[in-house]
């Protein structure tokens, strides 16, 4: 049985509340990622024995990638909960777990105090983070989309991935301010803990916002019409399996490029290209700022000209620019590195990302929307979240700085091929609005 749900969307104030409620958990997650990525070298010395810095850094990035184990499980469980019990309560539980596990990292004693239990506790905290993250991104996107009018859906849903960049930028900037204010001994003993512990008050504010928000009209109408999916996972895989794979395919370029160009780049610039941490942060921060600004612009454009054209342009630009971006990091002056990283990670990736998340949610009807997006996206993240670990290992093995651009280029090819089979879903360009009207007959 398939729901044909015609939703009534809230006014602009309600839409703003939905954006805040949808994006706050994503901000917490990526604030942590920003801190973790920027302080990776410090964290490696706190949680692992000294003697082999490369092994310690690999271990740190290995733990960074651990959520790939539990994220798919979290996606299935929270998506089922979101499609049966509602978006609001599911996202509240997800944010609670995310905030507590992030803050827990800041409370773990160092290796020097408790030995092997330090990395074990770090692993456990990262596993819980990954589990909760499985339900966060898809749920936030669905929440915003179902509170958006069809003619502005691309623009408003674009704020969801924009909070990813904002969280990463805020985490990185917070880490560098701490590094400037504290000496090396203070940073290693207690300073690195502060940004992780901040997740508690941010999470408390986010929980308040989410509890004050009403359930989406799309889900309430499913309840009223007795159209809530009884087995969302089975229905999603059985009926919308192709759409799940499309989400995974078109997500590859975005997720891999994001992790490599914006998350891993500071480590590459400092450990392989010979730049200072300040130069690495400056270049990457400008690129992230460009990414955050470009996303809503691209989302708004996609409401008028379609999702697919912008993603094709963004994907091709990523493919073309990623090799010059990494080639210049080792030899060019700083201003050239800043410019090329901005064009690649800011403009090209922003163009691709702007309409991307909205294209995902428009592939599924309301009854399995949470499940479809969560499962498809998590499959792509399995590959991308391990990028820092894989790249660190491959570069140490091959001594080649071409590994990162090759990795990104391959993901772009996969996504561009997946885009060939994607139907245009922007209401202004598509004859059928799958999002609000259900599957065409």
Predicted confidence (pLDDT) per residue in 357-408, tens digit: 999 999 999 999 999 999 999 888 877 766 766 777 787 788 777 888 999 9
* pTM > 0.95: no
Band of residue 25 on the pLDDT scale cut at 50, 70, 90:
confident
- Residue 5: which residues within 8 A CB-CB, separation 6 or more? 218, 221, 222, 225, 227, 365, 366, 436, 438
Q: Which tops the pLDDT comparison, 145 or 432?
A: 145
CA 436 – CA 148 distance, rounded (Å): 11
Asked if residue 128 belongs to a domain, the reply is yes
* CATH number of residue 109's parent domain: 1.20.1250.20
Cα within 13 Å of Cα(95), Cβ side: 30
Band of residue 9 on the pLDDT scale cut at 50, 70, 90:
low
Asked if residue 382 belongs to a domain, the reply is yes
Per-residue model confidence (pLDDT) at position 402: 83
Whether 199 has a pLDDT exceeding 60, the answer reads yes
Low-confidence winner among 14-28, 75-89, 280-294, 402-416 (lowest mean pLDDT) = 14-28
Asked if residue 437 belongs to a domain, the reply is no
Domain that holds residue 204: 12-428
Asked if residue 220 belongs to a domain, the reply is yes
- CA proximity to 270, closest of 39, 6, 11, 15: 39
CA 204 – CA 113 distance, rounded (Å): 30
Band of residue 83 on the pLDDT scale cut at 50, 70, 90:
very high
Asked if residue 2 belongs to a domain, the reply is no
CB 435 within 8 A of CB 153: yes
- Residue where the block lists tokens 């990670």: 345
Asked if residue 216 belongs to a domain, the reply is yes
**What are the angstrom distances between the C-alpha of 58 and each of 104, 147, 364, 390?**
22, 42, 39, 9
Asked if residue 438 belongs to a domain, the reply is no
Asked if residue 350 belongs to a domain, the reply is yes
Whether 8 has a pLDDT exceeding 60, the answer reads no
pLDDT mean over 76-89: 90
CA 369 – CA 362 distance, rounded (Å): 8
- CA proximity to 33, closest of 174, 166, 171, 201: 171
pLDDT mean over 147-159: 91
Q: How many domains does the chain have?
A: 1
Whether 213 has a pLDDT exceeding 70, the answer reads yes
Per-residue model confidence (pLDDT) at position 257: 93
Tens of pLDDT, residue by residue over 229-277, are: 888 889 999 999 999 999 999 999 999 999 889 878 877 888 777 888 7
- Residue 174: which residues within 8 A CB-CB, separation 6 or more? 31, 34, 35, 195, 198
């Amino acid at each position: 049985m398939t729901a044909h749900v015609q939703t009534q969307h809230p006014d602009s104030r309600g839409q703003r509340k939905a954006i805040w409620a949808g994006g706050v958990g994503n901000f917490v997650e990526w604030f942590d990622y920003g801190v973790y990525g920027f302080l990776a070298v410090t964290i490696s010395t706190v949680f692992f024995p000294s003697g082999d810095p490369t092994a310690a850094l690999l271990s740190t990035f290995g733990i960074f990638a651990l959520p790939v184990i539990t994220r798919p499980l979290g996606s299935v469980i929270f998506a089922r909960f979101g499609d049966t019990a509602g978006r609001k309560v599911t996202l509240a539980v997800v944010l609670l777990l995310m905030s507590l596990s992030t803050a827990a990292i800041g409370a773990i004693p160092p290796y020097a105090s408790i030995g092997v239990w330090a990395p074990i506790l770090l692993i456990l905290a990262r596993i819980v983070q990954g589990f909760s993250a499985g339900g966060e991104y898809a749920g936030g996107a669905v929440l915003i989309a179902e509170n958006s009018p069809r003619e502005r859906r691309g623009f408003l849903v674009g704020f969801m991935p924009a909070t990813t960049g904002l969280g990463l930028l805020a985490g990185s900037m917070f880490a560098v301010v701490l590094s400037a204010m504290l000496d090396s001994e203070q940073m290693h003993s207690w300073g690195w803990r502060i940004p992780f512990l901040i997740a508690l008050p941010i999470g408390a504010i986010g929980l308040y916002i989410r509890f004050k928000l009403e359930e989406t009209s799309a889900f309430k109408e499913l309840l009223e019409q007795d159209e809530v999916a009884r087995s969302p996972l089975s229905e999603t895989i059985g009926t919308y399996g192709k759409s799940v794979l499309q989400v995974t395919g078109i997500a590859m370029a975005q997720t891999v490029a994001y992790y490599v160009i914006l998350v891993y780049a500071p480590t590459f610039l400092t450990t392989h290209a010979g730049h200072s941490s300040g130069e690495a942060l400056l270049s990457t921060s400008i690129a992230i700022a460009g990414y955050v600004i470009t996303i809503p612009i691209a989302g708004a454009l996609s409401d008028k000209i379609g999702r697919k054209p912008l993603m094709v342009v963004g994907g091709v630009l990523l493919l073309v620019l990623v090799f010059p971006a990494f080639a210049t990091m080792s030899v060019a002056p700083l201003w050239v590195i800043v410019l090329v990283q901005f064009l690649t990670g800011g403009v090209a990736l922003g163009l691709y990302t702007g309409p991307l998340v909205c294209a995902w949610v428009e592939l599924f009807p309301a009854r399995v929307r949470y499940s479809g997006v969560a499962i498809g996206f998590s499959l792509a993240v399995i590959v991308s979240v391990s990028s820092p670990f894989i790249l660190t290992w491959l570069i140490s093995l091959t001594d080649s700085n071409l590994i990162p651009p090759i990795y990104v280029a391959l993901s772009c090819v996969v996504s561009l091929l997946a885009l060939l089979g994607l139907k245009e879903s922007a209401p202004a360009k598509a004859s059928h609005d799958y999002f609000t009207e259900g599957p065409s007959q």
